[in-house]
Amino acid sequence: MGEKRNLLSQLYIEYKTKMKIRTKLTILVITLILSGIFVSVTVAKRSISTKTSEIFLAGTMEEESNFNLILTPGSSYQDSLTIINNTDNSISYKIYPVDSERNNQNNIVFKMPYEDNINLGVWINFDKNTVEVPAHGNLNIPFSINIPSNTFPGTYYGGISIEKITPDYISTASQSVIVKIRNVKQLIINVPGEVSTDFEITNLTYSTDALHYSFKNKGNVIMTIAGEVQLSNSILNSKAENIKLLPLKVLPGDSLEQSIPFKKHPILGNYHANFAGKIYYFDGVNNKDIELKNFKLETNFITFNIQVLITVISILLLLIIILICRYLLKKKYLSECSDYIVEDNENIRSIATKFNMNWKKLAKINHIGEPYSLEKGQKIIVHNAKK
């Protein structure tokens, strides 16, 4: 008994020791996890709230401000921009002017440094194209704009690009990705003269997945097109949907080919599409868009969804098969039936019992309705599955 008690006491002490160790480990793990979360959140907040650099145009302290200038052919303009470095290290920047163009999503974007420029990208000049901004310092960078004497009147759209020379890296287990970030300050130059607002717009057309139209800016000012498409189904006499379009800018001499996708693809019907829109042109002198013209584009189309059609055909085929099967079963059942003459004191229930049939089934195949009365000598048909 003494040995057993000593053994049990020893096992209990070992158990308590192991539990204490596990408890300490658990507390340590929880503490590390909570510490990790706190550090991660703190770092994330710090990285989000910290700006590495700020870029200002001369005469303003608004970072998002843009240049909108009126310059005559043959004139020159001098100005400057300021870069402020908020980091603890000096940063080198590449500075270059760029023209604008339309991308595949029909948005006006600034050209990349390897693309050719013909307007602002050529007219703007810097004394230095690479600069270094000291840590927690700022640098004022002068530049000039020289408008060629043969420049036509109109609005020219571009920008000044400030790009960090030393790229950032995002490393993963398998590869490293180079990230280059640039800040482009928008610049609009208006060359005074006769304003031309000519344009050309085509009617709506329909394809299997969208509506289409094209717009060509034949003038010398920036134009904006906006509107809403209403789609209705004349067969169902209902309005299918409204598609509100975001405004799209079109540069002088540029063409816009826009596809308007459906929110929900039309399934089946005779549809009418009505595109009611407005065209604006940019007044560079007053720096605002002015309404030019309202327009309406329309088209009709008949459509059906192939998947819905396949489903409907499949259901119809299934119903036909069911009807054929029922017909063949009924025909087989009737071929097994024979004539029977009603005897005295017999009724529909007694005859059904006599031939092991459901009395309602017997009434149905003989077209006998309520009150289901029979007369002596009446000829009916019965199924031959007699008891």
In this prediction, residue 50 carries a pLDDT of 30
The Cα–Cα gap between 102 and 216 comes to 13
In 308-384, beta strands by DSSP E: 337-341, 379-383
Cis peptide, bond prior to residue 371, ω within 30 of zero? yes
- Of the pLDDT bands very low, low, confident and very high (cuts 50, 70, 90), residue 231 is confident
Could you tell me which of 131, 116, 119 has the C-alpha nearest to residue 81?
131
DSSP 182-222: EEEEEEEEEE-S-----EEEPPPEE-SSEEEEEEEE-SSS-
- Of the pLDDT bands very low, low, confident and very high (cuts 50, 70, 90), residue 98 is very high
Residues 6+ apart with CB under 8 A from 157: 99, 100, 108, 120, 186, 187, 188, 222, 251
In this prediction, residue 176 carries a pLDDT of 62
Q: Residue type for 212, please?
A: H
Q: Is the pLDDT of residue 221 over 90?
A: yes
pTM to 2 decimal places: 0.60
8 A C-beta contact, residue 220 and residue 196: yes
Determine the straight-line distance between the first and last CA of the chain, rounded to whole angstroms: 84
Could you tell me which of 272, 116, 99 has the C-alpha nearest to residue 188?
99
Residue pLDDT, tens place only, 326-370: 999 888 888 888 999 998 888 988 988 888 889 988 888 888 888
Enumerate domains of the chain plus CATH numbers.
Answer: 53-191 (2.60.40.10), 199-304 (2.60.40.10), 307-383 (3.10.350.10)
